[in-house]
Structure 1
Amino acid sequence: MPTEDEDARINQGIASDPDNPELTEADFRAAQPAQSALPVLASARRVRGPQKAPTKMLVSMRLDEDVLAAWRATGPGWQTRVNEELRRALERR
């Protein structure tokens, strides 16, 4: 938490910023929901396209800390590599 002096400096900075004034009670009363103020932007939702590969399942499992650390240490894409290794293990069975 800021000290009283720090808080006073922060509030002074807010008050002296003409590009970003502190909102007042009147501003909050005049506010509108985004849907009515900017309907085009508020309703624009990005939709993910069709998956190129079969849907994967989200799972939760417990792994030994050292095993997880070793896979994460291999860098980005480690989860994909774990999946590939598990697939190879299934094929060896």
Structure 2
Amino acid sequence: MALDKITPEEDAALTKAGLADPDTVLITQLSKRKPGRPVADITKTPVSIRLSPDVLDYFRSGGPGWQSRIDEVLRKAAGLKKRA
């Protein structure tokens, strides 16, 4: 069936079936996040920061999550509570 040949009735039936499907996600509900990445309850603000090469190497050597580890250390240094 060509999309340009769909009658209004067929379109309505397809829309109704799609909305009734529990796996349907409306386009307005999609985000720009990368597939497979978790959605955070509290989003972080992207910033640019200059770090010493040895500090950056230290955190990156721990593998993925190095930015979150820097965030944890900064939160501790600032006396802020650890996020859940």
The normalised TM-score by structure 1 is: 0.43
State which structure, 1 or 2, has the greater radius of gyration over its C-alpha atoms. 1
What TM-score results when the alignment is normalised by the length of structure 2?
A: 0.47
Return the structure number with greater relative CO, CA threshold 8 A, min gap 6.
2
